[in-house]
């Protein structure tokens, strides 16, 4: 991402990115803001909760386009029981499609606001999950930065 230089001619803003933060239970995550087309409220999650595969937990139509739902809570916190959902879950509809042309939406518990972060502050992830870009601190909380392209590639298999 290219950012304008500061008035003194340095590239102080060149290492900045804008992310959208969101929560799954008590854990915070983020994704590039330009990867998200919209955030929609979800009223009834019973069909999503009943899906066998959290990577393909159903589908919805947004602006006449089919969106495949990924239940991120169940992806990151697989348990034998159904997750305790937020009272107001949201679907982050992503802008990109996978190599097959499918669009995705991530079911999350809560969507926060956008934040501008310094990319130099991103620490490498201590996990083998290829869809985790890294870790950073936002407003005093640990946040995991997700790579939406890798998530698409992983979920399409």
In total, how many domains does the chain have?
Answer: 1
Residue at 143 is within a domain: yes
Residue at 25 is within a domain: yes
Residue at 141 is within a domain: yes
Residue at 8 is within a domain: no
Q: Where do we find the tokens 């947004």?
A: 62
Residue at 3 is within a domain: no
pTM of the model as a whole: 0.81
Mean pLDDT by 10 residues, the chain (157 residues): 38 78 90 93 86 90 89 79 75 87 90 89 75 86 88 67
Residue at 117 is within a domain: yes
- 59-62 and 27-32: which strand pairing? unpaired
* pLDDT tens digits, one per residue of 112-155: 989 898 888 888 877 666 788 889 888 888 999 998 888 877 66
- Residue ranges making up the domain that contains 150: 17-155
DSSP H or E stretch at residue 107: strand 103-108
């Amino acid at each position: 991402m290219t950012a304008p230089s500061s008035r003194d001619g340095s590239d102080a803003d060149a290492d900045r990115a804008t992310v959208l933060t969101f929560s799954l239970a008590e854990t915070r995550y983020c994704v590039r803001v330009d990867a998200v087309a919209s955030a929609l409220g979800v009223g009834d999650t019973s069909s999503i909760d009943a899906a066998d595969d959290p990577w393909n937990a159903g589908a919805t139509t947004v602006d006449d386009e089919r969106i495949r739902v990924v239940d991120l809570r169940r992806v990151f916190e697989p348990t034998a029981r159904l997750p305790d959902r937020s009272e107001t879950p949201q679907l982050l509809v992503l802008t990109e499609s996978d190599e097959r042309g499918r669009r995705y939406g991530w079911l999350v518990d809560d969507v926060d606001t956008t934040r501008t972060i310094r990319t130099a502050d991103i620490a490498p992830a201590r996990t083998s999950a290829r869809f985790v870009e890294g870790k950073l601190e936002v407003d005093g909380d640990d946040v995991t930065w997700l790579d939406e392209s890798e998530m698409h590639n992983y979920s399409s298999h």
